Amino acid sequence: MLKSRILVLGGCGQLGTELVAHLRAQYGAKKVIVSDIKEADDEMMAQGPFEVIDATDYSQIEDVVIQYEITEIYLLAAMLSATGEKFPAKAWQLNMTSLFNVLDLAKDGKIEKVFWPSSIAVFGESTPKNNTPQQTVMEPSTVYGISKLAGERWCEYYHRKYGVDVRSIRYPGLISYKTAPGGGTTDYAVDIFHKALKHDCYVSFLNAQSELPMMYIEDAIRATIAIMNVPRSQIKVHSSYNLAALSFTPEQLAAEIKKHRPDFQISYDPDFRQEIADSWPNSIDDSEARNDWGWEHKFGIEEITEIMLRELGPVYAK
Ligand code: VAH
């Protein structure tokens, strides 16, 4: 671990922003190079080495790998589900080309280890909805999900064929307060807190009963660092591990917010993202992750709601 020098591609996104902070705390700022398609805000730029990299450009990544003697890459650059449906060709090109670039760097021995995020979006309408198992029917209907399923197959291929050490997690919807809601279908569960604090009301783009697997960002970060730090022999799944914490519906989340803000009102106006959410599981069986590398979640809906309202409160108190 001490010799690790890490490059985070897509380091300014929801996961990257918080993962970088934890990696820099663990390895030291100078050992963690952050990159994204454009410069970060002043705060991030001041915290340690930053490089502008287009993750679809192999030579841009390779140059930084050589310059900083990088040993591990976390590839977090991707276009998420909802945005990907608006720009399908770009989503496929970004999500796949960036993955091949990083896997090829590992295949050619230029880096030692790769982390690549998959998603519950790899599951589709025909997948068993409850306690979705690690191996099951997978017929994703979004470009994002198709790219993640294809990416999982390529990760397993590069591991089996070339011995690449690539580790991957199928993230549920992630909830955090440090970055604005992105182009994800699950991002209603972030936006609702901003709107509750600003207007005490929220119009949900998913219907009241849309149950989806979710996770607080701190759990997701801990899982990411855990899977990258266990001995290689403990990694038995070389496509991507199911990972779970909790599941809830917009109605249930609104009820939890009302415990803190009794006047909060939610209404429902489903849009194109309803069809995406309907194709995803209600809950996930992550027993392989729990058995193979000791995963266990810590944050439930009460803690998440309390943290989100507490940390975002000052932003809207002005
Ligand atoms: C999305 N937040 O909504 C992402 C995630 C499980 C969903 O992959 O697209």
Q: What is the pLDDT of residues 16-64, one digit of tens each?
A: 999 999 999 999 999 999 999 999 889 888 999 999 999 999 999 999 9
Is residue 228, in this structure, part of any structural domain at all? yes
Say if CB 33 and CB 8 are below 8 A apart: yes
228 and 99, same structural domain?
yes
CA distance to 43, 50, 251, per residue, from 101 (Å): 29, 19, 42
Is residue 68, in this structure, part of any structural domain at all? yes
At residue 2, does pLDDT exceed 70?
A: no
287 and 302, same structural domain?
yes
Cβ neighbours of 114 (radius 10 Å): 23
pLDDT tens figures, 198-250:
999 999 999 999 999 999 999 999 999 999 999 999 999 999 999 999 999 99
Rounded to the nearest integer, the mean pLDDT of the chain is 96
Q: Which atom of ligand 1 is nearest to the CA of 148?
A: 8
pLDDT band at residue 297, thresholds of 50, 70 and 90? very high
Residue nearest to atom 4 of ligand 1 (CA): 184
42: domain CATH number? Answer: 3.40.50.720
Ligand 1 centroid to Cα of residue 121, in Å, is 7
pLDDT of residue 309: 98
Is residue 1, in this structure, part of any structural domain at all? no
Is residue 76, in this structure, part of any structural domain at all? yes
184 and 123, same structural domain?
no
- Quote the CA–CA distance of 34 and 22 in Å, as a whole number: 12
- Among the listed residues 27, 58, 144, 177, the single catalytic one is 144
Angle subtended at Cα 156 by Cα 155 and Cα 159, rounded to the nearest 5 degrees: 85
163 and 24, same structural domain?
yes
The yes-or-no answer on residue 144 being catalytic is yes
Range of the domain at 265: 174-214+246-316
- Quote the CA–CA distance of 182 and 148 in Å, as a whole number: 18
178 and 168, same structural domain?
no
At residue 1, does pLDDT exceed 60?
A: no
pLDDT band at residue 182, thresholds of 50, 70 and 90? confident
User: How many folded domains does the chain comprise?
Assistant: 2
